[in-house]
Chain A
Amino acid sequence: MENIVDPANLVYDKPRLMNDNPMHYCPGCSHGVVHKLVAEVIDEMGLEEKTIGVAPVGCAVFAYNYIDIDWIEAAHGRAPAVATAAKRLNPDKMVFTYQGDGDLAAIGTAETIHACNRGENIVIIFINNAIYGMTGGQMAPTTLMEMATATCPYGRNASLNGYPLKISELLVPVEGTCLIARETVHTAAAVKKAKKMLRKAFENAMAGKGTSVVEFVSTCASGWKMTPDQANQWMVANMLPVYPLGILKEK
């Protein structure tokens, strides 16, 4: 056993920029993994002293408690507007938003589309778990058809609730975007791939190529009322057909 703790045997470590604050995220939630990737990418690119994160309203409202960089907590949906000013006033900085589906695709739709249309040199990290986690599992713009939530308890119904909003697809024809990709973090291979995409997005922002949007199809085991493992399986079976993975746009 002693050999295992020998630093020479170290194959995996907590990212340097992640602190020891106990996370409020539920077991099985994708947020923790995506946080880890963000912290790793910032550190590996040597951007710690240049990065300004913009946190949303939603479960990730406390993102600033876990990654040791400068953070601005935005009003609900306004993160792309907040990030726009942070980046325009500090063109040498790395500015990213971290937003959930309600924040980005419901209340903040206008801010999202227009930041992308101006080609703001920022990264938008989009967590799509098809539900409002923080407020207790209400319907999101990305909630699947027939999926039950606290505010569509009999399942999402087109006549009452409309359809799952594919906001990333909507952003494809928007000229200011340079990269739109959809990833997930439910397997080790997926995490590895997602990290590469995130790094590419960060590189785009620093190179002034325009707006990069990386959507993470995510799990909300608590909101979905499943075990973490069931949530992963449900996500693959139900979410991925509606929100297919891959690069939607790259220029």
Chain B
Amino acid sequence: MAEEVKLLKGNEAIALAAIRYGTDGYFGYPITPQSEIMETLMDEKPWETTGMVVLQAESEVAAINMVYGGAACGKRVMTSSSSPGISLKQEGISYMAGAELPGLIVNVMRGGPGLGTIQPSQADYFQTVKGGGHGDYRLITLAPASVQEMADHVALGFDLSFKYCNPAMILADGVIGQMMEKVVLPEQRPRKSEAEIRREQPWATLGKTRDRKPNIITSLELDSSVMEKNNLRFQAKYKAIEENEVLYEEIQCEDADYLIVAFGSAARISQKVMELARKEGIKVGLFRPITLWPFPTRRLNDYKDKVKGILTVELNAGQMVEDVRLAVECKIPVEHYGRLGGIVPTPQEVLEQIKKLKN
């Protein structure tokens, strides 16, 4: 069969990929710049084909708690929002982490703080990879840099979240959500049957059969000695994710004197910067973290002896740069360049920063 190539917005790609993954439910609340996700799902009417439930909730808070309820039943459920709405979902994300529930959350970031702007931003890096909600938990975080990756990360996010019983987030931005590119969607997969879920997710609350004890989904434990054990179990899981699930892309890093580290749309701009720099004889490589948590700390550490300096390019005031500095143990200069509040930098202005780093 010939490959089916479509021209889609990043947000549309997420919606169509979700249907094809065999997602059981989507629960969301409209917010710019990601409303096309729910609009596309409603337009596709997947409840008539795969049986997928699509529901517009009364708030982001309700939507994430619907995800919590669906996930408790062992279902593949997701929600999407943008920065202010994601702040509202933090309670539910923390509860999901505490109850060890899988689920996919999409954040198509916009500029903040507060109501901010509807233009693209990457200012929710800290919120996403350092916590966001309360408690010692981690959120698996994927950073797509193309419409193709918006589609691909749906399956990747669900698979990782079910593998580790932990929520996962696709951390995109307004550029990736709104831009149109060619994309190949995955094959349609069937949704899991109740029998399959009962077998694969034996903890799911689908009704207690006589041959087992009640399944109870909770994050509550009043006995602090048990709660500490629960936390240690979470930490061991996070360590396993850090050991096994790091993803990144390296472009022309082998001979590089300088490295740009960037994710999402900033990485797309940086790829152009790299080309411009090389035309001027500056050997620049691009290191693109795909998983922001787990962060490619170990791989970046290798570069402390290989390159003369690193520039992180982010659509924020300097967030990931802290993790890059830690990764190279501050052995080489690590500078940050970012534009704020929804402004996207031009390749030329980033190139000037590379030249500054060089001098």
Contacts and interface: CB of A to CB of B under 8 A. Distances in A.
Interface of A: 48-52, 54-55, 61, 64, 68-75, 78, 81-86, 88-90, 93, 110-111, 113-114
17 contacts: A48-B210, A49-B207, A52-B206, A55-B218, A64-B218, A68-B213, A69-B207, A70-B215, A72-B68, A72-B217, A73-B99, A73-B220, A81-B62, A84-B66, A89-B24, A110-B59, A114-B62
Nearest to B219: A73
B102 to A, nearest CB: 14
Interface string B263-295: 000000000000000000000000000000000
Given A71-B215, A71-B217, 19 more contacts: A48-B207, A49-B207, A49-B210, A69-B214, A73-B216, A75-B65, A75-B92, A78-B62, A81-B57, A82-B66, A85-B68, A85-B69, A85-B70, A89-B73, A89-B77, A93-B207, A110-B59, A111-B62, A111-B65
A69 B209 CA distance: 9
Contact of A74 (B65, B67, B77): B65
Interface string B57-80: 111011101111110110101000
Contacts of A68: 208, 213-214
Max chain B Cβ within 10 angstroms of own Cβ: one of A52, A54, A83, A89: A89
Nearest to B222: A62
B220 A83 contact: no
Interface string B12-39: 0000000000001101000000000000
A89 B75 contact: yes
B55 interface: yes
Contacts of B62: 78, 81, 84, 110-111, 114
Contact of B73 (A49, A50, A52, A73): A52
Contacts of B208: 48-49, 51, 68-70
Interface of B: 24-25, 27, 53, 55, 57-59, 61-63, 65-70, 72-73, 75, 77, 91-92, 95, 99, 194, 205-210, 213-220
Nearest to A86: B69
A70 B214 contact: yes
Contact of A86 (B63, B72, B219): B72
Contacts, number: 127
B207 A72 contact: no
Given A52-B205, A89-B75, A90-B206, A82 B214 contact: no
B68 A93 contact: no
Contact of A83 (B24, B59, B69, B218): B69
A70 B69 CA distance: 12
Contacts of A82: 65-66, 68-69, 72
A89 B70 contact: yes
A51 B73 CA distance: 12
B206 A70 contact: yes
B68 A75 contact: yes
Contact of A88 (B55, B58, B214, B215): B55
Contact of A70 (B61, B63, B207): B207
Nearest to A95: B69
B55 A90 contact: no
Contacts of A88: 25, 53, 55
Nearest to B68: A82
